[in-house]
Amino acid sequence: MYASKYNGCGNDFMIVDYKEDVNYSDLAIQLCHEAEQDTDGLIVVKNNPLEMLLFNKDGSQAPMCGNGIRCFTKYVRDEKLTHHTTIPVQTLAGEMTIDILSTDPFECKVNIGKADYRNDRFNAADHRSYINRTVEIDGKPVTFTSLFMGTVHTVVFVEDAKAMVKSDLGKKLCQHPLFKEQTNVNFVQVVNRKELIVRTFERGVGWTLACGTGCSASFVVARDSDLVDTRVHVHLEKGSLKIEGSDDIFMSGPAVFEKKIKLPIT
């Protein structure tokens, strides 16, 4: 059994073909924590129809990942599992449609779907609105908005998103009792109406270099707050993504193959 390592704007994954009788939660913990790999997650590829299963590095399963599905798409093209340029992919968040824009360098556009602010979509702990809601953490008020955008996301607007990586606020908000199954936390800095800077604390992972669904959620909340236009560039630590849309949300960005390794299982 082989695993391939890919990354999307630095958000990296081990990718394997699906096999019966493999505990993928355990495999994710094993693979993603090895010093040589140290990746954000494990992607399992099912074929006929194409389906993406995603496991975080702590072994938990996630519904979807924007950077992950771009890596998934490049993998299925590299392995010749499809020759199409428009590809439907099944995920736990529903079917996603990916359009391949370029093969060298590889870039694709993903229809992430529609944002959903309903509390029951992200297992909220109560029925109060999670839009512009304020909670006290360490004696200080934190205002946030939560929604479902491929998976659960929480958006916090800050003056300096890069500085938040040195803070433990991401972890504390991620694990706050308001979220029954934790939440991904995105710290968003509005540069202008066409640019955002985003840093994401990902549940089950920690600080990550990039989060495609997080960038999409950040764009939606900024757009709905009339802080940006309907198309933006989102700047990350190792690249940028294009996010756009007024109804369905579309994310465009790269994916890169790094290496293939043989696993000690058949």
Report the CATH number at residue 91. Answer: 3.10.310.10
State the residue range of the domain holding 150.
119-246
Residues 154 and 242 in one domain: yes
Residues 106 and 135 in one domain: no
Residues 87 and 103 in one domain: yes
Q: Which percentage of the chain shows pLDDT scores above 90? A: 86
Residues 189 and 138 in one domain: yes
Q: From the annotation, which residues make up the binding site for substrate?
A: 11, 56, 66-67, 184, 202-203, 212-213
Residues 107 and 168 in one domain: no
Looking at the structure of the chain, the number of domains it has is 2
Determine whether 65 is an active site residue: yes
pLDDT above 70: residue 118:
yes
Q: What are 79-102's pLDDT values in tens digits?
A: 999 999 999 999 999 999 999 999
Residue of 9, 32, 65, 215 with catalytic role: 65
Q: What is the pLDDT of residue 255?
A: 96
Q: What are 10-32's pLDDT values in tens digits?
A: 889 999 999 998 999 999 998 88
Residues 237 and 153 in one domain: yes
Q: From the annotation, which residues make up the binding site?
A: 11, 56, 66-67, 184, 202-203, 212-213
Residues 140 and 123 in one domain: yes
- List all residues 6 or more positions away from 230 whose beta carbon is below 8 Å from its beta carbon: 223, 244, 245, 246
pLDDT band at 36 (very low <50, low <70, confident <90, very high): low
